[in-house]
C-alpha cells in the first residue's frame, strides 16, 4: 500500500467511530429541550433505554462538523487577543482550573506560571426529584463563549459556521435574523443561569461555580462563513422570549412530576409516523397499550 493510500484508509477509519459524546448519559442537553418530549425521557428511564443513542454520521457530515468546530476556535482565538472573554482557565503545568474574566487569569493562582489555557464554560441546572432514593434531572448547556462588558458581567455568543452561498443570502441586522432554532437555543442559554439550582462551570459536576453575571435579556448569534469574504462575520442580537422559556419550564415540571408519581406524561405525537415520533427512542413503547416493562 502506498503512503497516500495508507493515509486515506486511516482518515476513512477515523470517521467511522460513533460520534455522539452524550451516548449513555441521562442528562438533558439544551438542544434536546427545543423539541422536548417529557414522555420520551420518562419511558427511556423506566424501560432502561438510553435517552441519548449512538449515532453514525457519514464522513462528509462529520467533516462539516469539524469545520464548524475549527471556525469556532478561530473566533475564540481572535477574541482572546482583545482580552474580553470570561472562561475557565487551566494551567498547563499543575492542571489547576479557575473561572473568571480573562484579564485576571494570565498567571496561575497556584503555581504562578503563565502557561494558561482557555476552556469553554457550561451551564448545569439540577432539578431535584423527590423519589426514593432522591434523584435529579440534570440539564446541561455548553456555551460557545461569553464576551465581557465589564469584569462582572457578560453576554453569550453562539457561533455558527455557514456555507458561503448561504452566508451571502443572509441579510445583515437589523433586516435579517438568525434561524428560529438558533434563537431558541441561545434564549435557553440566557434563561438557565437564572434558575435556582443552576451554575456555570468549566468542569462537569464541579462543586465550584463562576461568580460573574450573564445578561439574561440579550445574546448574540454570530454566523461565520466557510470561505473567504471581506467581512466573514454576521452577528445578530437575540432578545429573550418569556413565553418560550416558560413553555420549556412547564415541560420540565411535567417530567419532574411524572418521575415523582411514576405516571407517564401525556403523549405529544398522534401517530408513529409523526416527525418527532420518527426520531423517538421509545416510539415502539409509546404507541403500545401497555407501558409496563
Q: What is the pLDDT of residue 20?
A: 56
Q: Cell numbers for 219, please give them.
A: 445574546
Largest CA distance in the chain: 64
Grouping H, G, I as helix, E, B as strand and the rest as coil, residue 117 is strand
pTM above 0.75, yes or no: yes
Place of cell 435557553: 188
Q: What is the pLDDT of residue 23?
A: 59
Phi, psi of 147 (to 5 degrees): -95, 130
Q: What is the pLDDT of residue 189?
A: 97
Q: Cell numbers for 186, please give them.
A: 441561545
Q: What is the pLDDT of residue 50?
A: 80
Q: Nearest-CA neighbor of 145 among 76, 244, 67, 66?
A: 76
Running along the chain, 293 residues long, what does each successive block of 10 average in pLDDT?
93 80 76 92 87 78 91 94 91 88 78 88 94 90 93 94 95 92 97 94 80 94 95 97 97 95 91 86 78 44
Task: Give the list of residues 6+ apart from residue 220 with CB closer than 8 angstroms, or none.
Answer: 147, 155, 156, 157, 158, 186, 235, 236, 237, 238
Provide the 10 A C-beta neighbour count for residue 2: 7
Contact of 200 with 175, CB cutoff 8 Å: no
Distance of alpha carbon 284 from alpha carbon 281, whole angstroms: 8
Q: What is the pLDDT of residue 107?
A: 83
Could you report the per-residue pLDDT of 22-35, keeping only the tens digit for each?
Answer: 556 788 999 999 88
Q: What is the pLDDT of residue 1?
A: 85
Q: What is the pLDDT of residue 293?
A: 42
**Bridge pairing between strands 97-101 and 85-91:** antiparallel
Query: Could you tell me the residue ranges of all domains in the chain?
Result: 30-37+55-252
Contact of 281 with 25, CB cutoff 8 Å: no
Contact of 108 with 158, CB cutoff 8 Å: no
Specify whether the backbone of 280 is left (phi greater than 0), alpha (psi in -120 to 50) or beta: beta
Q: What is the pLDDT of residue 236?
A: 97
Amino acid at each position: 500500500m502506498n503512503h497516500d493510500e495508507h493515509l486515506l484508509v486511516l482518515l476513512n477509519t477515523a470517521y467511522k467511530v460513533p460520534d455522539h459524546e452524550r451516548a449513555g448519559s441521562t442528562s438533558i442537553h439544551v438542544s434536546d429541550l427545543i423539541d422536548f418530549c417529557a414522555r420520551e425521557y420518562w419511558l427511556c428511564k423506566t424501560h432502561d433505554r438510553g435517552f441519548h443513542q449512538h449515532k453514525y454520521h457519514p464522513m462528509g457530515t462529520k467533516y462539516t462538523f469539524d469545520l464548524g468546530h475549527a471556525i469556532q476556535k478561530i473566533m475564540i482565538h481572535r477574541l482572546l487577543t482583545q482580552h474580553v472573554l470570561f472562561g475557565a482557565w487551566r494551567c498547563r503545568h499543575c492542571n489547576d482550573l479557575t473561572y473568571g474574566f480573562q484579564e485576571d487569569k494570565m498567571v496561575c493562582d497556584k503555581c504562578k506560571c503563565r502557561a494558561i489555557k482557555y476552556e469553554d464554560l457550561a451551564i448545569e441546572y439540577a432539578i431535584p426529584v423527590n423519589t426514593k432514593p432522591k434523584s435529579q434531572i440534570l440539564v446541561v448547556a455548553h456555551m460557545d463563549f461569553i464576551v465581557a462588558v465589564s469584569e462582572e458581567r457578560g453576554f453569550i455568543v453562539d457561533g455558527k459556521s455557514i456555507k458561503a452561498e448561504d452566508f451571502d443570502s443572509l441579510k445583515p441586522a437589523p433586516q435579517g435574523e438568525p434561524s428560529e432554532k438558533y434563537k431558541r437555543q441561545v434564549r435557553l442559554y440566557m434563561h438557565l443561569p437564572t434558575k435556582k439550582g443552576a451554575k456555570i462551570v468549566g468542569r462537569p459536576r464541579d462543586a465550584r461555580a463562576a461568580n460573574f453575571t450573564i445578561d439574561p435579556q440579550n445574546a448574540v448569534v454570530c454566523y461565520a462563513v466557510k470561505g473567504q469574504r471581506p467581512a466573514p462575520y454576521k452577528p445578530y442580537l437575540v432578545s429573550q422570549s418569556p413565553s418560550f422559556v416558560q413553555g420549556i419550564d412547564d415541560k420540565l415540571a411535567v417530567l419532574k412530576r411524572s418521575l415523582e408519581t411514576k405516571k407517564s406524561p401525556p403523549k405529544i405525537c398522534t401517530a408513529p409516523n409523526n416527525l418527532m415520533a420518527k426520531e423517538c427512542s421509545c416510539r415502539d413503547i409509546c404507541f403500545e397499550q401497555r407501558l409496563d416493562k
